[in-house]
Structure 1
Amino acid sequence: MFTLMELVQPQSLEEAYEILMKRKNNIVIGGSAFLRMGEKRIGTGIDLSNLNLNLIEETSDYIKIGAMTTLRDLEVSPILNKYFNGVIGNCVKDIIGVQFRNVVTVGASVFSKYGFSDLIVALLSLDTEVELYKGGRVKLEEFLNQKYEKDILVKVHIKKNNSKSIYKCMRNSRSDYPILNLAISKDDNNFKICVGARPQRATIAKEASEFISNNILNEENILKASEIACEELVFGSNMRASKEYRKAICKSLVKSALMEVSSC
């Protein structure tokens, strides 16, 4: 259980950022679902609830998701369910239970770059940018590869296009973290294969994505792409699965997802 010395609810992003930078152990908190699973001493917890960041908005070019939006909001959003084969709602709908999903926020999940995150791998398969208060808008892939710097994630922006995406995962039990998760998107003939919970954070299997995008989509090439993905990605072992098991699961899930997304 974490220890929180003080909780504040700023009235502006500038105020929130100033408080964040005052002390090393000041942090922005979301629903605190994952904080409760560890031990951490927090000086000042910064709650963004008063900043109107619980939102899902559609513009002509983008879908904007505020940092305080919950996973449950994503799951039931009629806007998100219209696009991308409903992959955003699909990737979160089986995470533990409704009460849990009513607490976990988008900002906390994405900014923390959790390796096990089902949401991050789905967002990565799309044309997604994150908006940081000081860092501005950057591609999600670039953000995931950056070194940690104190900042506030304000919104996530998903570009509206013709992408269809499929999400897959393997878990030891329904309420457990995934052993492996992935999302594969198709925009015309361009595929993007994204794999997470390796157990490292989600990444794009670029060689496999390029191969399947530039070759005829048939069973032989789908199998070849799944083999390429397994060889180019790095897998690790932890209490949930060995790296060898993750590699085998990756091959199976990539093959299944490619076959499914190709028919969308």
Structure 2
Amino acid sequence: MLSINQYVRPQSLDEAYALCQKKNNVVLGGMLWLKMQSRTVGTAIDLGGLGLDTIEETETAYRIGAMVSLRALEKHAGLNALTQGAAAEAVRHIVGVQFRNCATVGGSIYGRFGFSDVLTLFLALGATVELHHAGELPLSDFIALPRDTRDILVRVNVPKTPVQCVYLSQRNAATDFPVLAVALRGRDGAYTCAVGARPMPAMAFADEKELLAGGVTEENARAFAADIASRCAFGSNRRAGADYRRKICEVLVRRAALALNGEG
């Protein structure tokens, strides 16, 4: 059971950041995973009054506020046009519409959960995060930060550079956490593949051998998939073993590459 001693709705990011520095204080996010914990929180910090629940479009990026719901991400026409529907595909399996109306992008990203579909997609897209204190940094660098880093995630920025994108996942049940997730981005002949639910946090891999550089074929899609699976580290949990995940990775990466070529 989660117990909260004090609830505060800060009037500024500076106030929220100051409150966040105390170890026993917690930013609420969407509260969907937090409420399942058995702990006592000193001060619960609600960012709902700071205007972070919008998706802004600039000439170069989509700026996604930390309090934007996963449902808003799923339904956003611009993001889905940019990603050829991958934004919606990455979240549509997450429990149900009611859940996605409450779950937030900030909560999904800041937790750096191994099972996070959202983290996997944004990593492949080359997104950056804006932290109130540390500033803007690549999502890949944020994932590597120590777990005890105490900052406020303000927004996630997704570049508007035209890309090809595919998101695929394997699940034991339709609304369960993924056994493995793959997001593949192609841009100007270069490819980046993010592998999530390893079950550790997602990792991104470039096509270092340029296996797909000449255009995707069945043969080089298989070679690319084998290369990614060989470079990625996998672990075991109750959903699947490491060896199974490696085999599934090859399958999903190959399918994603062929889907980019219109063959999926």
Which residue number in structure 1 is paired with residue 171 of structure 2? 171
Amino acid at match of 2:193: I
Which 4+ runs in 1 deviate beyond 4 A? none
Provide the secondary structure at the position in 2 that maps to 1:201.
coil
Instruction: Write the distance in 2 (CA, Å) between the matches of 1:209 and 1:179.
Output: 26
Q: Work out whether residues 212 and 221 of structure 2, in 8 Å CA contact, stay in contact via their aligned partners in 1.
A: no
**TM-score (ref. length: structure 2):** 0.95
Instruction: Write the distance in 1 (CA, Å) between the matches of 2:20 and 2:37.
Output: 21
* Pairwise CA distance, 1:181: 0.5
Which residue number in structure 2 is paired with residue 202 of structure 1? 202
Q: Work out whether residues 216 and 257 of structure 2, in 8 Å CA contact, stay in contact via their aligned partners in 1.
A: no
For structure 1, the 5+ residue unaligned runs are: none
The structure that is helix-richer by fraction is: 1
Identity %: 38
Which residue number in structure 1 is paired with residue 17 of structure 2? 17
Are residue 223 (structure 1) and residue 222 (structure 2) matched? yes
Instruction: Write the distance in 1 (CA, Å) between the matches of 2:215 and 2:75.
Output: 36
Instruction: Write the distance in 2 (CA, Å) between the matches of 1:85 and 1:216.
Output: 19
- Residues 159 and 210 of structure 1: is their aligned pair in 2 closer, same or farther, counting only changes over 3 Å? farther
Q: After the TM superposition, which of the residue ranges 77-86 and 124-133 deviates more from structure 2? A: 77-86
* Pairwise CA distance, 1:68: 0.3
Which residue number in structure 1 is paired with residue 189 of structure 2? 189
**TM-score (ref. length: structure 1):** 0.95
Provide the secondary structure at the position in 2 that maps to 1:183.
strand
Instruction: Write the distance in 1 (CA, Å) between the matches of 2:212 and 2:18.
Output: 46
Provide the secondary structure at the position in 1 that maps to 2:239.
coil
> What is the aligned length?
262
TM alignment of 1:125-136, pairs within 5 A: 125-136=124-135
Q: Work out whether residues 191 and 210 of structure 1, in 8 Å CA contact, stay in contact via their aligned partners in 2.
A: no
Cα distance per residue 1:206-245 (max 9 Å; x no partner)? 3x45433445532211111111111111110001111111
Q: Work out whether residues 193 and 209 of structure 1, in 8 Å CA contact, stay in contact via their aligned partners in 2.
A: no
Amino acid at match of 2:258: M
Which residue number in structure 2 is paired with residue 66 of structure 1? 65
Which residue number in structure 2 is paired with residue 54 of structure 1? 53
Which residue number in structure 1 is paired with residue 120 of structure 2? 121
Q: After the TM superposition, which of the residue ranges 224-233 and 84-93 deviates more from structure 2? A: 84-93
For structure 2, the 5+ residue unaligned runs are: none
Instruction: Write the distance in 1 (CA, Å) between the matches of 2:253 and 2:81.
Output: 24
